């Protein structure tokens, strides 16, 4: 029992999955999934910088 309690657990994953169907309404049909992902991260970076500057 002690061995089980002392066993190191794997860290929890913090993955988030977004539905392509939901995302498609925000992007042109010509955008590939890779381009959508890149655009989302660029927008998040800009949002983070704006948020940090307003503090």
Please give the distance of CA 8 from its chain centroid, rounded to a whole number.
Answer: 26
Structure tokens belonging to residue 38: 């890149």
Task: Please give the radius of gyration of the chain, using alpha carbons only, rounded to the nearest integer.
Answer: 19
What's the pLDDT score for residue 3?
Answer: 80
Q: pLDDT by residue (tens digit) across 1-55?
A: 778 778 888 788 889 999 999 999 999 999 999 999 999 999 999 999 999 999 8
| Whole-prediction pTM | 0.68
The b-or-e profile of 35-48 (16+ CB within 10 A means b, else e) is: ebeeeeeeeeeeee
- Sequence spans of domains, the chain: 20-55
How far apart are the C-alpha atoms of 40 and 46, rounded to whole Å?
A: 10
């Amino acid at each position: 029992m002690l061995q089980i309690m002392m066993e190191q657990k794997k860290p929890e994953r913090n993955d988030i999955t977004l539905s392509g169907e939901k995302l498609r309404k925000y992007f042109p049909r010509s955008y590939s999934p890779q381009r959508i992902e890149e655009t989302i991260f660029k927008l998040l970076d800009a949002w983070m910088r704006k948020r940090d500057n307003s503090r």
